[in-house]
Amino acid sequence: MQNITGKIAFGGIAIGKIKEISKENNVVRRVKIEDAKAEIARFEAARDQAAEELKGLYDKAVKEVGEANAAIFEVHQMMLEDEDYLDSVRNIIEAQSVNAEFAVATTGDNFARMFADMDDDYMKERAADVKDISERVIRVLSQKEEKVNTSGAEKEKYIIAADDLAPSETIQLDRETVLAFVTRHGSTNSHTAILARTMNIPALVSTAVPKEVNGKMAIVDGFKGIVIIDPDEETLREYEKKQQDEKNRQELLQQLKGKPTVTKEGKEIKLYANIGEVKDLGAVLQNDAAGIGLFRSEFLYLQSDHFPTEDEQFQSYKTVAEVMAGKKVIIRTLDIGADKQIDYFGLEHEDNPALGYRAVRICLDQPDIFKTQLRALLRASMFGNISIMIPMIASVWEVRKVKEIMEEVKAELTSEGIPFKNVEFGIMIETPAAVMIADELAKEVDFFSIGTNDLTQYTLAIDRQNAKLDQFYDSHHPAVLKMIQMVIDSAHKAGIWAGICGELGADLTLTETFVKMGIDELSVSPAMVLPVRDKILNA
């Protein structure tokens, strides 16, 4: 048994035999020619045929993986029309009196090197595209049949292993016979990785699989990013179970996808997902969440070495709003401090950061930072259904002050002629103080979202980072559950909705309790959306 790690291009589990796809090493020979004109004509005819083939691949790809993912084949066609590329080939044929194959190979290598040398991971990948189109032209010139198809008479399924796969090779593989892709080179940015994701096939790249693996039994774990070659009985059984679990999840998805989340008594619960980065959006859509209940905006600050500008923030918020296409997107404003520290904020050391200078306290103390974020949020509101949520509220005056600043920002935008929509405005309930005055806070806002992690730590006076306190930490503590009930009741009395976006929201043993309490919204990690929906439908 041998474990090999790789980079994950797409998750999933596959068990089966490996089939190695090796390209014939087309050694291009340099041949002296007499008639350069005729050779150029031969090249141009081959180029036309290659372009024609790519057109066919484009049509196939549009059908199988959609227009956006098929676009690469259109780009390939255009590369074959590129004047610089064509000039280079013609030049080499003429100046060196060499055969078209050699001229194309040389040109392909030169352009590939240009891309490979760029200091941009995405552009480096484009070297493979240039090589792919050049090889295609060379193959046409050598009048060889294209052969990548694995489809045999028996239609056995395989894990495909290769040094690298060009997008054109990936799309030509018979999907019915492919269990997974494992390539020795390539990156998660490559088009093959993107195609694998669209085709829903587990894929690993940059995986050091040995050469002699053809026909061997293997497991591809696309969640952990490992390939296990010649697995032992126990591992095999373990993975068969994992595969079954994953299948069950997929079935749950099929069964529950698109269904409204309604309790037996007929109340619809808003079931949203929590995300921390723009790239988590895929998981939100895959798991069929009705919206985003908590978008932690901290990543913008944590991944930056300076205060993110209004435009930088605007782009991220706009993307999320657009991708969610009109579904609710609740964005929590800056929640820095406590366990999340950032150098450029220049925060002083605190003995007790959880009770210190953090979140809305920073925003009210340094309104410039806050205003930049609010401006970006309001501008992005034009592109979807954005709500703004403020963390760490303990007093009514804080909410009023935030609203005042928001009004100032709106007035600025209006005077600058920048459009924005009126957004829902809510607060997180995560301090015991906010729970006790929830009835007063409810008059100021459109919704409450209970942050159970902080609320529990503040209520039980237990530091959740301290493992020594585990025996004292009870996430189902009656004090916390009573508080949740109080918050829901206060919200309903004022005619606003209340939800939970903390970890407790995804606790399936409490789902029924929350429904009975009258909860209106639950926001959970994307993977938990369907299990929670299943629970609610039966609650």
Partner 1 sequence: MKSFSYTVKDELGIHARPAGMLVKEVKNFQSKVTLEKDGKSVDASRLMAVMGMGVKKDQTVTVTVEGDDEDAACDAIKAFFETNL
Q: Which is nearer to partner 1, 97 or 319 (CB)?
A: 319
66 part of the interface to partner 1, by CB under 8 A = no
Q: Which is nearer to partner 1, 140 or 194 (CB)?
A: 194
Contact of 337 with 357, CB cutoff 8 Å: yes
Can you read off the two tokens belonging to residue 526? 């994307």
Residue 74: CB minimum distance to partner 1, A: 6
Annotated binding residue 29: no
Residue 168: CB minimum distance to partner 1, A: 14
Residue 84: CB minimum distance to partner 1, A: 5
Q: What is the DSSP letter of 215?
A: T
Contact of 291 with 324, CB cutoff 8 Å: yes
Task: Select which of 191, 349, 476, 492 is catalytic.
Answer: 191
Residue with tokens 């180029």: 47
3-class DSSP assignment, residue 180: strand
**Site for partner 1 (CB under 8 A): how many residues?**
24
User: Of 117-125, 451-459, 475-483, 514-522, which part binds partner 1 (CB under 8 A)?
Assistant: 117-125
Q: Which is nearer to partner 1, 106 or 287 (CB)?
A: 106
Annotated binding residue 296: yes
DSSP notation for 28-77: PPP-B-S-HHHHHHHHHHHHHHHHHHHHHHHHHHHHHH-HHHHHHHHHHH
- In the chain, the N- to C-terminal Cα span, in Å, equals 46
109 part of the interface to partner 1, by CB under 8 A = no
Query: Judged by CB under 8 A, which of 43, 58, 115, 514 binds partner 1?
Result: 115
Strand partners, 218: 16, 229
What is the phi/psi pair of residue 161, to 5°?
Answer: -115, 140
Give the footprint of partner 1 on residues 128-157 (CB under 8 A).
Answer: 129-130
User: Of 75-83, 215-223, 347-355, 414-422, which part binds partner 1 (CB under 8 A)?
Assistant: 75-83
Residue 319: CB minimum distance to partner 1, A: 8
Taking CA 525 as the corner, what is the angle to CA 524 and CA 528, rounded to the nearest 5 degrees? 80
Q: Which is nearer to partner 1, 51 or 455 (CB)?
A: 51
Interface mask toward partner 1 for 284-323; x: CB under 8 A: ---------------------------x---x--------
Residue 389: CB minimum distance to partner 1, A: 25
Residue with tokens 């150029």: 40
Give the footprint of partner 1 on residues 350-409 (CB under 8 A).
Answer: none
Give the footprint of partner 1 on residues 483-512 (CB under 8 A).
Answer: none
71 part of the interface to partner 1, by CB under 8 A = yes
344 part of the interface to partner 1, by CB under 8 A = no
Residue 9: CB minimum distance to partner 1, A: 17
Angle between helices 36-65 and 100-116 (to 10 degrees): 50
Q: Which is nearer to partner 1, 74 or 489 (CB)?
A: 74
81 part of the interface to partner 1, by CB under 8 A = yes
Rounded distance, CA 243 to CA 247, Å?
6
Q: Taking the CB of residue 401, how many other CB atoms lie within 10 A of it?
A: 15
Annotated binding residue 439: no
* 492 a catalytic residue: no
118 part of the interface to partner 1, by CB under 8 A = yes
Query: Judged by CB under 8 A, which of 24, 34, 83, 212 binds partner 1?
Result: 83
* 191 a catalytic residue: yes
Query: Judged by CB under 8 A, which of 9, 46, 79, 377 binds partner 1?
Result: 79
Residue with tokens 């780009």: 75
Whats the size of the chain, residue-wise? 539
| β 226-229/158-162 pair status | unpaired
DSSP notation for 341-408: --GGGTPPP-S-GGGSS-THHHHHHSHHHHHHHHHHHHHHGGGSEEEEEE-S---HHHHHHHHHHHHH
Q: Maximum CA pair distance of the chain?
A: 93
Q: Which of 344, 460, 440 is nearest to 398 (CA)?
A: 440
User: Of 125-133, 175-183, 382-390, 471-479, which part binds partner 1 (CB under 8 A)?
Assistant: 125-133
Rounded distance, CA 252 to CA 268, Å?
19
Residue 464: CB minimum distance to partner 1, A: 34
Q: What is the DSSP letter of 200?
A: T
Q: Which is nearer to partner 1, 115 or 497 (CB)?
A: 115
What is the phi/psi pair of residue 417, to 5°?
Answer: 75, 20
Query: Judged by CB under 8 A, which of 47, 126, 136, 533 binds partner 1?
Result: 126
59 part of the interface to partner 1, by CB under 8 A = no
H/E stretch holding 122:
helix 121-141
Residue 172: CB minimum distance to partner 1, A: 20
C-alpha count within 13 angstroms, C-beta hemisphere, residue 135: 20
Residue with tokens 């920073």: 362
Write out the catalytic residue numbers: 191, 501
Please give the residue ranges that form the binding site for partner 1 (CB under 8 A).
71-72, 74-75, 78-79, 81-85, 111, 114-115, 118-120, 122-123, 126, 129-130, 311, 315
Binding site for Mg(2+): residue ranges? 430, 454
| Numbered residues of the known binding site for phosphoenolpyruvate | 296, 332, 453-454, 464
